[in-house]
Amino acid sequence: MSDTIERVVVHLVSAPVPGGLADATRKVESIGFTIVRIFTANGVEGIGVTYHEVGGEATKTLIDKAIAPRLIGRDPFDTEVLWQEFFGYLRGVGRKGLTFGALSAVDIALWDIKGKTLNLPLYKLFGGGRTSVPVYASGGWTSYSDEQLVDEAQMMVDRGYSKVKVKVGVEAGTNPRRDVIRVKKLREALGPDVALLLDANNCWDAATGARFANRVAEYDPLLIEEPVFADDIPGLARFKRSTDIPLGTGEHEYTRFGVRDLLLADAVDIVQADGTRAGGFTEMLKIAALTQAWNVGFAPHAMENIHLHLVAAAPNGLFLERLLLFEEVTSRVFADAPVPIDGQMHIPDLPGLGLNLDLDYVLANDEGTA
Ligand SMILES: [Mg+2]
């Protein structure tokens, strides 16, 4: 009954981001996917993915040179065993960052093999019963004018979303009073029924974040995300004590250990760990369990086509994030990737991830073969 990994292929595809989009702390110039394809002796192909703004070449090289040779001949169902082996093998070269992007993409591909072998979608393997999950639209860059900000949010609502996330922290976080004015304009334009999520992308200290939260409370945000530097866990906890607006964070945490520290410090209400960076499905199942033990929300960052299985299966899974920035590259890399309908992502009735690569596009645009 067992299967064996025979071959691992890695592709690197990226797309420039037009228009110099920026949030409070960085400009985004390119979005890239590192795509892992794992082939087995029984003829199953699993696909996994991680993404990057910079450094995709390093991720690809790490998989090609260090991870792939150790997968050959192994049983793809041994996800726990393999994860622990690679955690040990790679620990000296990084327990965060690109190293974990690489490990995450490989783990996701192994789970795709499991689903395809058993002819079950992954959410069923995870024990889930939901076949659709709410999703919010995510954009609203700080580089936008007030008019662009409101127009894009209105466009999201016109496209059927009832939840919209925008950036705050204009002028590199130096002018929170302007942010309050922008939030006010958004609330006035969108009306009371659209959920408004605010992402500060690490730009403030706890006192500035708390002052901002208290000033925008009347506009009823659903959450404030990363109001302080992601590694300032005491600062996040101080922010959380200062407001009853839920605090979202975790997109920059890796593994169950990073999320454990947020929870122990009472520094999060909605955990936004990203399975394409934090360690794949093997690790995200543990992270989801931790969030349940602490009775907080679970709402993974970005990569909605990967995360929908996890959120569908987690009893505290709130919603997915669909970054408008990723729509173009996602629609090109994957053939027939699901798209939101009326603010819901519907899980494809297909085994594994339910995703198929558009191989013509991937091979024609593969930067890894140059
Ligand atoms: Mg964010």
pLDDT digits (tens, 9 = 90+) for 154-176: 999 999 999 999 999 999 999 99
Q: What is the DSSP string of 30-77?
A: EEEEEEEEEEETTS-EEEEEEEESS-HHHHHHHIIIIIHHHHTTS-TT
Distance 130 CA to ligand 1 centre (A): 25
Which uninterrupted H or E stretch holds 167? Answer: strand 163-167
Of 298, 308, 322, the closest CA to residue 355 belongs to 308
Alpha-carbon distance of 368 to 370, in angstroms, equals 6
On the question of pLDDT at 20 being above 80, the answer is no
**Apex 220 CA angle, 216 and 225, nearest 5:** 70
Give dist(CA 32, CA 227) in Å, integer: 26
Q: How far is the CA of 275 from the centre of ligand 1 (A)?
A: 14
Question: What pLDDT is recorded for position 26?
Answer: 87
Binned at pLDDT 50, 70 and 90, residue 368 comes out as confident
Q: What is the pLDDT of residue 15?
A: 84
Percentage of the chain with pLDDT > 70?
A: 99
Expressed in angstroms and rounded, the spacing between residue 318 Cα and the centre of ligand 1 is 16
For residue 251, how far is its CA from the centre of ligand 1 (angstroms)? 7
Residue range(s) occupied by CATH 3.20.20.120 in the chain: 124-356
Q: How far is the CA of 176 from the centre of ligand 1 (A)?
A: 17
CA angle 65-66-69, nearest 5°? 80
Give residue 124 CA to ligand 1 midpoint distance, Å: 28
Query: Ligand 1 centroid vs 226 CA: distance in angstroms?
Result: 7
164 alpha carbon to ligand 1 midpoint, in Å?
13
Q: Where in the chain is the domain with CATH 3.30.390.10?
A: 5-119+359-369
Contact indicator for 304, 322 with CB cutoff of 8 Å: yes
The Cα–Cα gap between 230 and 365 comes to 34
pLDDT at 369: 72
Centroid of ligand 1 to alpha carbon of 140 (angstroms): 11
Q: Would you say domain 124-356 falls under CATH 3.20.20.120? A: yes
Q: Is the pLDDT of residue 19 over 80?
A: no
The string of pLDDT tens digits covering residues 288-343 is 999 999 999 999 999 999 999 999 999 999 999 999 999 989 999 999 899 999 99
Tell me the per-residue pLDDT of 225-235, one tens digit each, with 9 for 90 and over.
Answer: 999 999 999 99
How many angstroms is it from 230 CA to the middle of ligand 1?
Answer: 10
**Distance from C-alpha of 150 to C-alpha of 66, rounded to nearest angstrom:** 47
Distance 292 CA to ligand 1 centre (A): 21
Residue-level pLDDT at 16: 84
* pLDDT recorded at residue 21: 86
Q: Is the pLDDT confidence value at 370 over 70?
A: no
> Please, what sign has the CA dihedral across residues 190, 140, 235, 310?
positive
Q: What is the mean pLDDT of the chain?
A: 96
Partners of 15 in the β-ladder: 31
Cα of 349 vs centre of ligand 1, distance in Å, is: 30
Secondary structure (3-state) at 1? coil
CA distance 273 to 255: 9
Pick the CATH number of 5-119+359-369 from 3.30.390.10, 1.10.3720.10, 3.10.129.10, 1.10.10.10: 3.30.390.10
Angle of CA points 64, 287, 31, to nearest 5°: 45
pLDDT in tens, 50-84: 999 999 999 999 999 999 999 999 999 999 999 99
CA of 322 to the centre of ligand 1 (A): 11
Which residues lie near ion ligand 1 (Cβ < 5 Å)? 199
- The model's pLDDT over 175-195, given as tens digits with 9 standing for 90+, comes to 999 999 999 999 999 999 999
DSSP symbols for 202-224: T-B-HHHHHHHHHHHGGG--SEE
Determine if the pTM surpasses 0.95: yes
Residue 18 has pLDDT above 80, yes or no: no
